[in-house]
Structure 1
Amino acid sequence: MANGGLVCGPISTFSRVQILHLVQSRSHRTIAEICEATGLHQNTVREHLQRLVDGGYVIQTTEHRTTRGRPRTLYSAADGTPEASSPVARDKVTAAARRGDLMRRALPATASDLGRQATYQLDDLVEHLEESGFEPVIDDVQLTVDLTPCPHAAARPEDRPVLCQVHLGLMQGVLTQAGGPLVADFVRDPALPEECVVQLTDSAA
């Protein structure tokens, strides 16, 4: 169920957005690097990272050391590729597809002509967006995702580009993890702050 514009999930605070932006821009970040880049306390960073790992948006690995010393924990964005796939995210894909199939059996008119894999991608994407406080409207002909009104419309204008970039990266990771031809291409330039439309593309077309 959507949250009526309530910002929640992985982008519920701008501090978490900053952390996601860092791990999306470069893999294998250390807590010390994230603290230095954000100015956040180490305990705060740890808490945010744990929430993101638990949600399936970030993965953690242990540094391989060839010298003495305790190996560090490294953090990367869970982008859905085999090298950066989260078990939590994989479970979400399976659950979303199962719920989608149940809905389509109950309401055959909701079925899409996009094909099985693309349909499952959209199942997972819609659940991710609703979990994050959006109310997505999918056009599977024009391949757009309308997120108007954007819950981040009231954000500071200077923060909006990072918010959009991070959210687009999350959507790309969700679609990649689900596996299929659909890719989140870009966020259209809005005419009004509350407008947000994401353009998808079909890589198989």
Structure 2
Amino acid sequence: MGQPAYSAISSYSRVQILHQLQEHPARTVQDLTEATGLHANTVREHLQRLIEAGYVVVETEHRTTRGRPRVLYSAATGTDAASSPVAQRKARDAARRGDLMRRVLPWTDTPDPAGAPLPAEVLHQLDALVDDLEGAGFDPIVDEAALTVDLTPCAHAQTHATHRDVLCAVHLGLMQSVLSEARGPLAVDGMNPSCDPAECVVQLSRA
């Protein structure tokens, strides 16, 4: 893989904003401006892009005192408190496409390690995850038996090598959000250790 494809997270400025929101939810534009050093208008533009991608949710502060309520931004987590309608729709669309592919190409329906077909909810989570990763410029290889997602080589890590820790944290958070929005037993367990900065294999776990 060469350069990362243009997507909501192809800009490191948007990755910075997402990192802030993953670490500290319910933040204002002013909060993000101070944390990133970006201009307020630039932050607003990036936030809109992230909202449209289903990665950020917005709410209006509930005030019990006088004053204009603040607009608060949080990273979408797929939980009831921070679920994105955009991400939910993307997960449903990915599941429909996956079901269609499995009907047309039944040999793609991979069994679990015990030999039984994977439950629909697991398949739909993987459909949503692969769809989102491909949209972000990755070329994921999923091992359903080992529950791993191989993203090697990671073009993002190569492009922003000095920010690898932040990039990995944000991408893992996004993967967990996608799995949660798709509603199923799979969750992100972590990234398998490697000495190669371009190597990225994410381990999933199944409740």
TM-score range, shorter chain: over 0.9
Does structure 1 residue 138 correspond to structure 2 residue 151? Answer: no
Partner Cα separation in structure 2 for residue 188 and residue 5 of structure 1: 23
Kept in 2: contact 1:4–1:133 (CA 8 A): no
Match in the other structure for 1:15? 13
Q: Mapping of 1:105-116 within 5 angstroms?
A: 105-113=103-111, 114-116=118-120
Question: TM-score, with normalisation over the residues of structure 1?
Answer: 0.94
1:28 aligns with 2:32: no
Deviation track 1:51-103 (CA, whole Å, cap 9, x = no partner) reads 00111110000011122221111001110011111110111111000000110
SS of residue in 2 equivalent to 1:105? helix
CA distance in structure 2 between the partners assigned to 1:189 and 1:10 by the alignment:
26
Residue 182 (structure 1) aligned to one of 181, 186, 190: 186
Matched, 1:155 2:159: yes
Structure 1: segments with no counterpart, 5+ residues = none
Structure-1 residue corresponding to 2:42: 44
Q: Which ranges of structure 2 fall in alignment gaps of 5 or more residues?
A: 112-117
Residues 53-202 of structure 1 aligned to structure 2 (within 5 Å): 53-113=51-111, 114-202=118-206
RMSD: 1.3
Give 3-state SS (helix, strand or coil) of 1:88's partner.
helix
Counterpart residue type for residue 6 of structure 2: C
Tell me, yes or no, if the aligned pair for 1:187 and 1:198 is still in contact at 8 Å: yes
SS of the residue corresponding to residue 179 of structure 2 reads helix
Aligned residues: 201
Helix, strand or coil at the partner of 1:167? helix
Taking structure 2 as the reference length, the TM-score comes to: 0.93
Identity of matched residues, %: 58
Alpha-carbon distance in 1 for matches of 2:87, 2:2: 24
C-alpha distance in 1, partners of 2:90/2:25?
A: 22
Displaced runs of 4 or more, over 6 A: none
CA separation in 2, counterparts of 1:175 and 1:101? 17
Aligned residue identity for 2:204: L
Moved more, 27-36 or 148-157: 148-157
- CA 1:157 to 1:174, structure 2 compared with 1: closer, same or farther past 3 Å? same
SS in 1 for 2:205: strand
Query: What CA distance in whole angstroms lies between the structure 2 residues aligned with 1:146 and 1:105?
Result: 25
